[in-house]
Chains A and B, each alone.
Chain A
């Protein structure tokens, strides 16, 4: 039996909605098949008011063992560092977060807002939001760079806007079944099993990427979304095209550019006008090249790819 407590800070509930759509295992399977005891969760908990406060207080005091603390949403510090803009059970949420993180064996930050601050932390960041252990790319965040939970691990970051339900359930199952030691984390404390490969890995448009054929308007099934429509698939770490959404599709498969939502800088360029759905260029060359590729190599590769392009690459090969 693993006790799980799940709270939300500066959040839209998107990760909760994603989690509730989980299959194989579903949220119910976590309870019935994997021995998880969900002490409270904003959309599932039946307790209200003082009853919720008692659950939290018991976790902090140790009367109830807190195995996993899941936090969704940013830690809100406004105004002036007080956290009063996000109160919960009679006090600033951030005070609960601090004490619950200290009490928990494992701490899981779920979604971009909890991991890096996400959209709430976008400049000018009026809510003074930050992630549990990062603020964008900077290590530290609310808990500080040196924080480790009782089990000795830093915050386990599962980013995404929202995170895929499988990323959440599989990590919770791993922890609850005593396999947390198998989790390898990357430099941003993301489980490598999900965040080592790129969003582009498994994308159905990879052939068009290889031959440098661009999708130039939304709705086109031919072409790659990277060249013109701002797709960040080649430089974003996620398994979106390996572990499909709803077991069916992904953004890029459906013709929607990847927004890079599992990376600390999301949303990129602070959402300045003209930066969304448009590849940013400098003198005709993409500002952000695929990870590991330099400008010189990119230009050479483009020439070679175009010269070798087969005729079918210019056509829509996905016939209905």
Chain B
């Protein structure tokens, strides 16, 4: 874990704590819908952090009845505390969630 990752993670955490409204719904029910969200992300400039968080529906707590969270998501790297989905590629916390969650 690098300092820059920590700083960025803190910044993302602050954005959400300050009420950043993100698109948590609709959850992509299948692969085709999932791809549509990815396409939206691909169209964004690389440094458009807030837009990325909005499109992917980030929240800073577990989500839904099943309490889904980054920790169980297959893109989450536990030790680096990192989202390894190439279209996101951001530092995250285990208790966060976004609608690109997959296991």
Contacts and interface: CB of A to CB of B under 8 A. Distances in A.
B54 interface: no
B96 interface: no
Given A280-B30, A307-B71, 7 more contacts: A214-B84, A274-B31, A274-B32, A280-B31, A299-B66, A309-B79, A311-B79
Contacts of A13: none
A216 B31 contact: no
Contact of B72 (A213, A228, A283, A303): A303
Most buried by B among A274, A303, A306, A307: A306
- Chain B: interface size category: 20 to 34
B58 to A, nearest CB: 15
A298 B78 contact: no
Interface of A: 212-214, 216-217, 227-228, 274-275, 278-286, 298-299, 302-303, 306-307, 309, 311, 314
Contacts of B28: 284
Contacts of B80: 314
Contacts of B76: 306
Q: Say what secondary structure dominates the interface of chain B.
A: loop
Given A216-B85, A281-B102, A314-B79, A227 B74 contact: yes
Interface string B69-103: 00110111111100011100000000000000111
Interface of B: 27-32, 34-35, 66, 68, 71-72, 74-80, 84-86, 101-103
B85 A281 contact: no
B53 to A, nearest CB: 18
Nearest to A300: B72
Contacts of A302: 72, 74, 103
Contacts of B79: 309, 311, 314
A115 B35 CA distance: 34
Contacts of A275: 31
Contacts of A212: 74, 103
